Amino acid sequence: MRIAMVHSTFATPGGAERYVRDLSRDLVARGHEVRIFCRGTSRDDDGDQLVPTRLSARIPASPRLRLVRKVATHLGDLADPTGIGPRDLADFQPDLVHLHNWQGLGALPVARLARRYPTCHTVHDYAICDPNNSLVHGYRPAPLASLLRLRSAWLVWQLRNVTPLWPAERARDIVRSRVPAAARLDGRIIPLAVRMTPRQWPTGSQNVFIYLGALSPHKGTSLMLDAWRAVAGELDATLLIAGDGPQRADVEAAARDCPSIRYLGYLDETGKVRAMSEAGWLVYPSQCPETFGVSAVESLVAGRPIIADAGARPVTASDTSLVTFRNREEFSAMLRWAVGIPPERYRQMSASAAGDGRRVDWDTHVAAIERAYEELAGRSLAIHGTR
């Protein structure tokens, strides 16, 4: 089968970007022909097929134009018909398009693809519900709330030919609770997984915490730094931070000022394994509901329990594999608690986490994706005949 992976950009490497790369490699190993179509960045692979940049994305990225660029980007997601289109896939003639993050490509170009090719969409975020795909709404004035509801309904209409692949039932239900029209989108639940090399993990260090992910406000970076500063002087403990993003400078400054914070930068798989082997806990301070949480799965596979914000509780972790907090004070209290619990209690939580990790199998996931492809392509052929 010829599969076109369509993803907005690899500019900021994260869970979705890693997933696209890993899934593409394994599908090729299973005999499929796969090409990745994306906007160009310095992180592209040689085999990536680069697509045109939208008009709204051509505004210079200067501090003076930051607000203009942000507004144009969100409007471009809705109203800019330029960028990727069927012509960009014409030489490949895919049997199926697998869409990932569409922000930056736009809904109109994606709708054009879905009218031409059978299209599925792994739902990595909540962009249908929120322009910043983070669901950090807070209070919205009535006129703005009405506009957001109209935006969401319009997006659902544009994506009506796209089959969502929900990473968890909870993710699907969150979208439907905020956008009732999304219930009309046909789809299926295919639990996500993470491709990890099997290995024996050492026992975690109870006084070492690790954060893996984007460094941005909606991921809870500032909350994490504030909570750690509140306990840094009283705990013999270390916070490892790995990742990249708009708040990288804040993390680097915190690491300079606070000796118990170590910033590791963006890690490849080898570096991530080394850091996870040192740590005993994953901190998961995201300030928005998460569709999946790659770092949470990595932590469970390694047998590391999780300290998570209650609103972003990882869907893959059982109650005995994590503890939650609701604000900065509770976060700090959980850090103190984690360092001080009896070793036997920590071993029990670690064993529970490892058990959760064994239930997230990558090969099973890829096989489910293949079945979804076959069903979608077969259904399209039955309706439209040979293209």
Q: What is the CATH number of the domain that holds 69?
A: 3.40.50.2000
What does the H/E/C string look like for 32-91? CEEEEEECCCCCCCCCCEECCCCHHHCCCCCHHHHHHHHHHHHHHHHHCCCCCCHHHHCC
Q: Is residue 280 part of a domain?
A: yes
Check whether residue 231 and residue 137 sit in a common domain.
Answer: no
What whole-number distance in Å separates Cα of residue 227 and Cα of residue 332?
Answer: 5
Give all strands of the β-sheet with 238-242 in edge-to-edge order.
261-265, 238-242, 208-212, 281-284, 306-309, 322-325
pTM, two decimal places: 0.82
Q: Is residue 63 part of a domain?
A: yes
The answer for residues whose C-beta is within 8 angstroms of residue 170's C-beta and 6 or more apart is 289, 315
**pLDDT at site 139:** 58
What does the H/E/C string look like for 309-336? EHHHCCCCCCHHHEEEECCHHHHHHHHH
Check whether residue 218 and residue 132 sit in a common domain.
Answer: no
Domain total of the chain: 2
Q: Is residue 100 part of a domain?
A: yes
**DSSP per-residue string spanning 187-211:** -EE----------PPPPPPTTEEEE
Tokens 């976060």 found at: 331
Q: Is residue 203 part of a domain?
A: no
Q: Is residue 201 part of a domain?
A: no
Q: Is residue 338 part of a domain?
A: yes
Check whether residue 249 and residue 185 sit in a common domain.
Answer: no
What whole-number distance in Å separates Cα of residue 362 and Cα of residue 239?
Answer: 29
What whole-number distance in Å separates Cα of residue 364 and Cα of residue 370?
Answer: 10
Q: What does pLDDT average to in each consecutive run of 10 residues of the chain (387 residues)?
A: 95 84 97 95 85 84 80 85 91 96 91 96 90 63 83 94 91 90 90 87 96 91 98 96 94 97 93 96 91 88 96 90 97 98 97 92 94 90 60
Check whether residue 328 and residue 263 sit in a common domain.
Answer: yes
Check whether residue 305 and residue 368 sit in a common domain.
Answer: no
What whole-number distance in Å separates Cα of residue 35 and Cα of residue 47?
Answer: 7
Q: Is residue 30 part of a domain?
A: yes
Contact 250, 225 (CB under 8 A): yes
Strands 96-99 and 188-189: unpaired
Query: Three-class SS of residue 130?
Result: coil
**pLDDT at site 138:** 56
Check whether residue 257 and residue 218 sit in a common domain.
Answer: yes
Check whether residue 222 and residue 96 sit in a common domain.
Answer: no
**pLDDT at site 351:** 97
For helices 142-158 and 107-116, the axis angle rounded to 10 degrees is: 20
**pLDDT at site 136:** 55
Check whether residue 380 and residue 271 sit in a common domain.
Answer: no
Which residues are paired to 6 by β-bridges?
Answer: 37, 99
* Domain housing 247: 208-358
Check whether residue 8 and residue 136 sit in a common domain.
Answer: yes
Check whether residue 11 and residue 149 sit in a common domain.
Answer: yes
φ/ψ of residue 121, rounded to 5: -140, 110
Tokens of 24: 């593409």
Which residues are paired to 96 by β-bridges?
Answer: 3
Check whether residue 124 and residue 187 sit in a common domain.
Answer: yes
Tokens of 279: 């740590």
Question: Based on the number of CB atoms within 10 Å of its own CB, is 182 exposed (0-12), middle (13-18) or buried (19 or more)?
Answer: buried
Check whether residue 178 and residue 280 sit in a common domain.
Answer: no
The answer for residues whose C-beta is within 8 angstroms of residue 192's C-beta and 6 or more apart is 19, 122, 167, 168, 291, 292, 294, 297, 365
Q: Is residue 279 part of a domain?
A: yes
Please calculate the CA angle 71-142-78 and round it to the nearest 5 degrees. Answer: 30
Cα of 299 vs its chain's centroid, Å: 15
Tokens 């770092």 found at: 295
